[in-house]
Amino acid sequence: MSSFVKKLETLEALENHYGQPVKTSLVKEIDHISDHYRSFIEKSPFVVIATSGPEGLDCSPRGDPPGFCHVLDSKTVLIPDRPGNNRLDSLRNIVRDPRISLLFLIPGVGETIRINGRAQICLDDELLERFPVKGKLPKAVIAVTVDTMYFQCQKALVRSGLWKSEGQIKRTDLPGTGAILAALTEDVDAEEYDKAYPERLKKTLY
């Protein structure tokens, strides 16, 4: 870790530097899914999952058509877990430490929704059958019990211009995934990997 001279290393120093929280930033935090917050979840096609385990932290995306996360009741959100690369970083963490944080995003909307809670990895048939896509069910369902939730204001997304089309860049302006893998292992041919990826993605999406 880099060494820096000026650092905030105590809660007192941190609070003195930033000042008191805005009142509305506190009252918006609740311990359940209100009707207003539910409407955001039901419109979101994308959620970021943060977990913690013995090996450290993990942050992982999940996405499907809007409404893919189901609100079971005022304390529970269900997230389908589709096939992936089987690293299982998030799921390994949940098995050993159920604490979880969720960040829901909706394209074109500045506010995000945050949930802190506890997760279980469920295989109940009635839960899996809630999430069919193209005749296929998820591998599992992550059931999250809400401890706290609140909306995050628009500042970060406004500053970043995340939803502005003019802010988008061409994929070719970045290294290809094949090139990245080829630099790390001799087992991958960069050109062949990138060429085959679209068809591989199509076959393994669900």
DSSP for 173-205 reads GS--HHHHHHHH-TT--HHHHHHHHHHHHHHH-
Per-residue pLDDT reduced to its tens digit, 52-88: 999 999 999 999 999 999 999 999 999 999 998 999 9
pLDDT digits (tens, 9 = 90+) for 99-155: 999 999 999 999 999 999 999 999 999 999 999 999 999 999 999 999 999 999 999
Which domains does the chain show, CATH number per domain? 20-160 (2.30.110.10), 169-204 (no CATH)
pTM: 0.93
pLDDT at 13: 96
Helices (H) and strands (E) in the chain, counts: 8, 7
Do the Cβ atoms of 206 and 83 come closer than 8 Å? yes
pLDDT of residue 167: 87
Report, in angstroms and rounded to the nearest whole number, the Rg of the chain calculated over CA atoms.
20
How high is the pLDDT of residue 2? 80
Neighbours of 80 (CB within 10 A): 21
Mean pLDDT of the chain: 95
pLDDT of residue 1 exceeding 80: no
The yes-or-no verdict on residue 173 having pLDDT over 90 is yes
Q: How many residues does the structure list for the chain?
A: 206
Determine what percent of the chain is predicted with pLDDT higher than 90.
92
Starting from the edge strand earliest in sequence, which strands make up the sheet with 140-152, in order? 56-63, 46-53, 99-105, 112-122, 140-152, 76-81, 70-73
Res 160: pLDDT: 95
